[in-house]
Amino acid sequence: MSALVTLTGVSKTFENGTRALAGVDLSVNAGEFVSLVGPSGCGKSTVLRLIAGLIQPDDGAVAFPGGRPEIGFVFQEPTLMPWARTLDNVRLPLDLVGMDRARANERAARALTSLGLAGFERAFPRELSGGMRMRVSVARAIAAEPKLLLMDEPFAALDEFTRQALNDDLLKLWDDEQLTVLFVTHSVYESAYLSSRVAVMTPRPGRIAADVALSSPRGRDSGYRLTPEFSAAAGQITTSLRGFIGRTSSARH
């Protein structure tokens, strides 16, 4: 398994003096589903933004051993353009690189179908429910057929049912499209369900405290949540976090 992206000794301090990250080492291999788990404010989003190239590290390096892959990004909010219809929203990454309209429309429509939204191409974001808007956001992220999908707590604002449905859809996508996913969440259970590997982060300054290997999520369905293996995995992750949770409760956010 080759590493798709590696962070070596990455540190980042923001303008207001917050030491977001200090000496973060992380590598994500091709085909993995890695979750980044940690309490709020531990720098998980910063890691994603560093990989996406939206910010630069102060120290250390972000490297792509096989060359910079096509990256898709899903934010915590659906972040759709409210003035554009669903298909136009999904087509955005393709429009930005100048793909011809017909081909781009086809790709976008396919992405929508894979997220179960066939038939909603002409809808405006305002007309969709929160869960549907998040699906459009994911469809947009995969429209450009990325190798690496970065997701920043995408399902945090959704209700349990929608969240679980999207978890399953995401796993199916990961399997069908052979994606590599780096998934940020503060839910231990979500990370245990979705991942083949969980990197536990601790805050102020952010660093990787533990790296928990799990079994492959291929073929998992909602029944998995009731298995002992799932409980054990969740327990393992929680234990890694436990030593650090006490520290955060007294800290200023």
Partner 1 sequence: MLGIAVLSCWEALVRIENIPAYVLPAPTAIWSAFADNFASLMASMWTTLRITVEAFVLAVALGVALAVLFSQSRTIETALYPYAVMLQVTPIVAIAPLVLIWVGFERIHLALLILAWLVAFFPILSNTTLGLRSANHDLIDLFRLHRASRWQILIRLQLPTALPYLLGAMKVSGGLALIGAVVAEFVAGSGTATGLAWRIVEAGNRLQIAKMFAALGLLSALGISIFFLLSLLEWALLHLWHESALKKQT
**Binding footprint of partner 1 on the chain (CB under 8 A):** 49, 52-54, 71, 73, 75, 77, 79, 81-84, 92-93, 95-97, 124-126, 144
State which residue, 91 or 197, has the beta carbon closest to partner 1: 91
d(Cα 12, Cα 57) in Å, to the nearest integer?
5
For the bound state, the minimum distance from the C-beta of residue 92 to partner 1, rounded and expressed in Å, comes to 8
State which residue, 73 or 193, has the beta carbon closest to partner 1: 73
Tokens (6 digits) for 167? 């978890």
- 82 CB-contact burial (10 Å; exposed 0-12 / middle 13-18 / buried 19+): exposed
State which residue, 95 or 159, has the beta carbon closest to partner 1: 95
For the bound state, the minimum distance from the C-beta of residue 42 to partner 1, rounded and expressed in Å, comes to 20
3-class SS string, 49-106: HHHHCCCCCCEEEEECCCCCCCEEEECCCCCCCCCCCHHHHHHHHHHHCCCCHHHHHH
d(Cα 105, Cα 52) in Å, to the nearest integer?
25
State which residue, 85 or 172, has the beta carbon closest to partner 1: 85
For the bound state, the minimum distance from the C-beta of residue 55 to partner 1, rounded and expressed in Å, comes to 10
Q: How many CB atoms lie within 10 A of CB 38?
A: 27
Distance from first CA to last CA of the chain, Å, rounded?
38
State which residue, 94 or 188, has the beta carbon closest to partner 1: 94
For the bound state, the minimum distance from the C-beta of residue 84 to partner 1, rounded and expressed in Å, comes to 8
Instruction: Determine how β-strand 3-13 pairs with β-strand 59-63.
Output: antiparallel
For the bound state, the minimum distance from the C-beta of residue 188 to partner 1, rounded and expressed in Å, comes to 26
